[in-house]
Chain A
Amino acid sequence: MIEKYSILSPEFERDAPRELMLLSIISQSFFQPFSLEDNLIVILTALTSGSGVGFNRAMLFLKQGDRIKGEMWLGPRSAEEAGLIWEVLSTPGIGYVEIVEHNRALVSKNEDTLSARLKGLVYAADDESALIPAYAACRKEILLVREASNEPLVDRRFLNLIGVEEFLCIPLLARDDVVGEIILDNAITRTPISPADIKLAGVCGLMAGNYIYSSKLHLKLLDVEKMAAMGEMAMFVTHQLRNPIAAIGGFTDQLLKPDVPEDRRNRNLTIIRDEIRRLDGIIYQMGHFLKVSLKEPVYFDPGPAIAAVLDSPEILARARDYALSVKLEPCLPEILCDPTSFGEVLRNLLANAFDATPAGGAVAVRGYRKSPGAYVLTVRDTGRGITNPDKEQLFKPFFTTKEKGMGLGLPFIKRIMDTCGGKIEVQSRVGKGAVFKLIFLSRERELTP
């Protein structure tokens, strides 16, 4: 007999040991399609998540080049605000997404006051004689500071900003490299920082350091991939442009010869004009692909977006030749995606389905909940299907089986799905048709108690 468990448990275990809970929050957040900034909020949140657990406030310094710079501040500004925040955070059934959203708002609320002042604090990153807080990062040591105003090593500007006598400095390290520092205090409850707190914060610091390090590495890797894709694109564009240019060149040379008959001249000019229009089209499409910038995904109701695509003139016009059916559950969950990009994804998949299917065939759109937190949208056609070798190439830029295709549709969809933490899968049998399955992260519209 086997038992299966979800890697990501959707809710906090309220009665779990606080250490386990804290580490679980942080490590699970790394699985979410959050931005680096949002995950940093999760880390700070985990360290300050409630009156009984963790610290009251956390602030983050990040290393940028050869400097350590104040970045983000999380925590209540007063005892009243603390009460409110902790009430929210202790709501049973509250998930990471809600916490991140709540705290993102909190960080932006602090933006004008504390964070702005924090961002003014910049220290040299490799200065052995640096003052606290940079001292901890520079020396790669965890520091507990007490009676801060009597301590000459504490930077006075920093002390004025945080206004507490006791605080903890945790350097964020990865592979012997400093990536930043977290400062923790109990400014509201004034609880002394215990050795257990320090150990736990130290482990969180290691996780956070490695997370920041790998996120930065990932961004670098994306840059490299982008460059490679650009090279491939340059090669493809060259090819696309050379054909019309060869025709324009050749037919122009013919025109320059003496005594070209009238009808021949007109024919050549028509060909040259058509080829120039083709060049124009290629340049337009390339420009469109390049300028598409992906927006941050948000949770939204996909119903109206799906209806807007299905009712659009271009889809209606093409759907006339097919049996188009749409079946969605009556109450859709909210899915995570950029709504505009979502429309483009569906439009692209429908256009592909029509392209692949002879007139009179069937095209079907289905939507269903796959599991809690995952919503699936499929587009099925009864067209010619996709061969196995083609399946492997489908999502590579510039691969196309269409005579006039650019091979940019599916790579674009894949890029969008990657951005929102979703997936695209394809199943097909040659001659029978194909199903493209979009899997989105989703949430129900109202919190279930």
Chain B
Amino acid sequence: MKKKILLVEDEKSLCLLYEEELSREGYDITAVTDAEAALAQLAGTAFDLIITDIRMPGKNGIELITQIMGLRKDIPIIINSAYQSYKEDFMTWAADAYVVKSASLDELKAKIGQLLGA
């Protein structure tokens, strides 16, 4: 069975890129562009991992994580942000990993592998 990943990313081109690249790695990707859509998806589907951006229009990634924690505490979360400076705080937000956006997807793919025990 393919592992299910929920991707929350408001940048459309990055959404497309992650969808393609992570599908190629053998994951089942659902991509949404804001927190509300992410919560709607979570209500109906049992995801194995969530990747979320921080700065998004509407509810931001931190608010989203707080709400997810109220729903499901066991689901691993990776923060994928362009902000380097938030990296020190990711544990306090109850995320499992923090990957700074860069020109290469290798680190993100490696973290997903680790958290899903691949």
Contacts and interface: CB of A to CB of B under 8 A. Distances in A.
A235 interface: yes
Nearest to B21: A250
Nearest to A240: B82
Interface in B67-82: 81-82
A5 B9 CA distance: 58
Interface in A226-247: 235, 238-243, 245-247
Nearest to A268: B17
Given A251-B17, A403-B57, A235 B83 contact: yes
A248 interface: yes
A250 B84 contact: no
A248 B82 contact: no
A239 B55 contact: yes
Contact of B82 (A243, A253, A275): A243
B104 A249 contact: yes
A240 B16 CA distance: 19
Contact of A246 (B14, B57, B84, B85): B14
B34 to A, nearest CB: 11
Q: Interface majority SS on A: helix, strand, loop or mixed?
A: helix
Contact of B102 (A246, A252, A274, A403): A246
B11 A243 contact: yes
A284 B65 CA distance: 35
B105 interface: yes
B25 to A, nearest CB: 13
B94 interface: no
A99 interface: no
A254 interface: yes
Contacts of B81: 239
B98 to A, nearest CB: 14
A328 B57 CA distance: 38
A274 B20 CA distance: 19
A245 B82 CA distance: 10
Contacts of A121: none
B101 interface: yes
A243 B100 CA distance: 10
A243 B16 CA distance: 13
Interface string B27-59: 000000000000000000000000000010100
Contacts of A242: 82, 100-102
B84 A249 contact: no
B84 A238 contact: yes
A403 B10 CA distance: 10
A179 to B, nearest CB: 40
A17 to B, nearest CB: 60
A239 B80 CA distance: 12
Contacts of B100: 242
Nearest to B9: A243
21 contacts: A235-B84, A238-B82, A239-B55, A239-B81, A242-B82, A242-B101, A242-B102, A243-B101, A245-B103, A246-B14, A246-B17, A246-B103, A248-B103, A250-B17, A250-B18, A250-B104, A252-B103, A253-B104, A253-B105, A271-B13, A275-B13
Given A246-B14, A403-B57, 5 more contacts: A240-B82, A247-B17, A249-B103, A250-B17, A271-B13
- Of all A-B residue pairs in the complex, the 9 with the closest CB atoms, nearest first, are A249-B103, A242-B82, A250-B17, A239-B82, A246-B101, A247-B13, A242-B101, A243-B11, A271-B13
